[in-house]
Amino acid sequence: MSSPENTLKLTGFTAAGALSGLILPAGLGLLLAAAGLLPAALTGAQRWYALIAGMFLCGFGVCTAPLGLPVLFRLLRMPVNAALALKKVLTNAWLLSAATLGLSAYGAWKLWPVLDAMGSGAGSNTLYAALCLLAGNGVRLALEIAALRKRLQFGTVTLKPDLIKCGPGEKAQTMLRMSRKAASVEASLELCTEEEGADVLLPAKVGPAEPGADGWTYRVSAVIPGDVPLKGEDSWILSVRARGARGVEIYLQADIERSGR
């Protein structure tokens, strides 16, 4: 049974995730209102402030949406197929960049005559909001490009199982599968602790590449030390790093759950 403390933490994470999922839809709504594409009785100045707020929110929302939207959709009890379809649209980095930058530029163009009557403060805030939007889209596109490079280098990559039940003295095992053969694969057994500087790093064994119908398989294993005491939320993880022929690297990890917990 979960403790009240764990329940409180879970509730906090869920609330934070749901709020982060709301940022992007709210920002897009404000940009649509600023551009006059939503029915709203707003003055020109109000629309300009909606433009500023929308750019700020979208600058953060394009990065938080992939993590926050699934949590939000679960809380709303949205049908699975509808949630997946909407998530696919709202987390597409290229579509998001085109939509947020396009709506912002269109709204600014439509409202440009209003800016002269609003003073220099509005212009400065607009510049900061635009920089925030550009930075957010830049980060999101950089992550998307990095992920694309990894897909091109390795194809489909999985680490199964990614949750291993294992006790002290027992061998933790998982399998790394990828469509294309890696130039090298390394692994380590890591103990994550709450104490600063107390983490333990041990080598893990990686077997030779085994060809199969759908690609290559690497068997990764490590024996859990019996002489390292675990406290509280301390936990072991099996960390795997694969490197492609062109220098692209990918990191995966399998969590190790203590037997009998």
Domain edge (last residue) among 139, 154, 169? 154
Q: Where are the beta strands (DSSP E) in the chain?
A: 157-160, 163-166, 171-178, 184-192, 200-203, 205-206, 210-212, 215-223, 235-243, 249-258
Over residues 63-84, mean pLDDT = 82
**pLDDT interval class at 148 (50, 70, 90):** confident
CA–CA gap between residue 239 and residue 62 (Å, rounded): 29
pTM of the full predicted structure?
0.61
Token reading at 60: 């953060």
| Domain end point (choices 119, 138, 154) | 154
Identify the band that residue 50 occupies on the pLDDT scale cut at 50, 70 and 90: very high
CB 136 within 8 A of CB 63: yes
Please answer whether residues 138 and 161 qualify as being in contact, where contact means their C-beta atoms are separated by less than 8 angstroms: no
Per-residue pLDDT, averaged over 63-80, amounts to 83
Give the domain extent around 196. 157-258
Same-domain status, 122 and 247: no
In the structure, what pLDDT confidence band is assigned to residue 85 with cuts at 50, 70 and 90?
confident
Domain final residue, candidates 124, 154, 184: 154
Domain count of the fold of the chain: 2
Same domain, 28 and 129: yes
186 and 84, same domain (yes or no): no
55 and 103 in a single domain? The answer is: yes
pLDDT tens by residue, 95-144: 999 999 999 999 999 888 887 767 666 778 889 999 999 999 999 998 88
Q: From CA 83, how far away is CA 91, in angstroms rounded?
A: 12
Query: How do residues 156-204 score in pLDDT, each as one tens digit?
Result: 888 888 888 888 888 989 999 988 888 889 999 988 776 655 467 888 9
Residues 43 and 81 in one domain: yes
Residues 197 and 136 grouped into a single domain = no
Both 114 and 18 in a single domain?
yes
**Residue 49 burial by Cβ neighbours in a 10 Å radius (0-12, 13-18, 19+):** middle
89, 199: one domain:
no
Percent of the chain's residues with pLDDT above 70: 85
Same domain, 240 and 148: no
Domain of 191, CATH number, reads 2.60.40.1930
Separation CA 180–CA 215 (nearest Å): 6
Q: Are residues 131 and 8 in the same domain?
A: yes
Q: Identify the band that residue 3 occupies on the pLDDT scale cut at 50, 70 and 90.
A: low
The confidence band for 2, taking pLDDT boundaries of 50, 70 and 90, is very low
On the 0-12 / 13-18 / 19+ scale of CB atoms within 10 A, 66 is: middle
**Alpha carbons 16 and 68: distance in angstroms, whole number:** 8
Could you tell me if 239 and 121 lie in one domain? no
Mean pLDDT of the chain: 83
> Do residue 85 and residue 199 come from a single domain?
no
Structure tokens at 235: 């936990």
Which of residues 246 and 213 earns the better pLDDT score? 213
